[in-house]
Structure 1
């Protein structure tokens, strides 16, 4: 009987260890994907949400997709390990929601802004500095060359220099303190307005929190494009695992 009980205990222990390694018993991370628009609405939002949900499922993360700004209160936000603004536009948060979001970020929150997240909250000075640069204009969708500034974890999917098709944002009020990971080569396409140094993706600390912004993601095809999709996943992984590294 003792041998049988010992066998059952050892079997349970092995199963527990294997399950933990596979992530079954690990604490699930929670991601908020926010897509509210109060201006132009990108058709690629829906493919983007699908891609982010698929990435989350592959990594055993839980995703909540919302366009309700009232979700931005201190009680709700403390439950999220990462907040994603996917092509949000215009004024999307009221004053109370702004306070809650700012507090979330400055006390250790994680944020990922994609494409039109920079076309958001123009009348909120904190957000302008936080997002790293406001959308100014863009030429027609076309192929452009992108340069990788360093071998950061978030851009490991890309070679040192590469081309892809997207809508290329020009920016105003660029924050000089952001850490740039990708730049656009304006000589490779028509309509660039930022000059020889044209930031395209970047990150920086916000109080105790961390944010990342990437300019790609206008087209539907972006979200099935292997390298760009891997970029999204790598950014999310980096932010979720970030702890003052």
Structure 2
């Protein structure tokens, strides 16, 4: 039976051109039944039928007050949550969301090649990757280092690109538990090209299936 996902891509801030490619990737990387929405009212209805909710490069305030309550209750009760790239630029005024995701976006240098250091080879999102993963992205900096409250899966090697400001400990991909739910976040996924990359597609698949409790 397909795993049912709710993929939310509403933006009230910066909008990534890669969103359509990202949605198509989620539809095609696994045995998923995807409901794609940009309607915040979708979160005012019961979410229990979904194995996971995916915020795919959302930005700004994307939920209503009632939707916030529904999403928090859903995750705390055991629902999965996946944040991709600009999901960290979302709901800055909702404290629960910052806790849920683990860290909030601060800034990024220009889009450029760099290296991600894979720290955890046991997780489905990273076990297929080399120890040093060459990738091209925006290499997000975060307002706080989430390491104390999350399981870091991969970090950025700031010596491999220009403009990083978090230092030698720069988490980039992580997972955590929120109540009875599972949360996965990857800072990667800026460009459409990422969603055609086999390693990134496997990375995304592993994160989603883990959050949904099926991988």
TM-score strictly above 0.5: yes
- For 1:28 and 1:87, locate their aligned partners in 2 and report how far apart those are by CA, in whole Å: 24
5+ residue gaps in structure 1?
Answer: 1-26
What displacement does 1:239 show? Answer: 2.1
Match of 1:63 among 19, 34, 40: 34
1:78 partnered with 2:48: yes
What displacement does 1:55 show? Answer: 1.6
**Alignment-derived partner of residue 41 in structure 1:** 15
Query: Quick check: 1:134–1:174 contact (8 Å CA) kept in 2?
Result: no
1:158 partnered with 2:132: no
**Alignment-derived partner of residue 173 in structure 1:** 144
How many equivalent residue pairs?
A: 213
Moved over 3 A (4+): none
- For 2:139 and 2:177, locate their aligned partners in 1 and report how far apart those are by CA, in whole Å: 25
- For 2:36 and 2:44, locate their aligned partners in 1 and report how far apart those are by CA, in whole Å: 16
Task: Give CA-to-partner distance per residue, 1:66-124, whole Å, 9 cap, x none.
Answer: 0001011252x111111100000001112111011000000001011000000000111
- Which stretch shows the higher mean deviation, 107-116 or 229-238? 229-238
Query: Quick check: 1:74–1:104 contact (8 Å CA) kept in 2?
Result: no
**Alignment-derived partner of residue 190 in structure 2:** 218
- For 1:174 and 1:47, locate their aligned partners in 2 and report how far apart those are by CA, in whole Å: 29
Query: Quick check: 1:184–1:200 contact (8 Å CA) kept in 2?
Result: yes
**Alignment-derived partner of residue 82 in structure 2:** 112
**Alignment-derived partner of residue 140 in structure 1:** 110
Match of 2:207 among 235, 239, 242: 235
Q: TM-score, normalised by structure 2?
A: 0.95
**Alignment-derived partner of residue 124 in structure 1:** 94
Please state whether the residue corresponding to 1:128 is helix, strand or coil. helix
Q: TM-score, normalised by structure 1?
A: 0.84
- Which stretch shows the higher mean deviation, 171-180 or 203-212? 171-180
Query: Quick check: 1:133–1:174 contact (8 Å CA) kept in 2?
Result: yes
1:202 partnered with 2:174: yes
5+ residue gaps in structure 2?
Answer: none
**Alignment-derived partner of residue 9 in structure 1:** none
Query: Quick check: 2:51–2:213 contact (8 Å CA) kept in 1?
Result: no
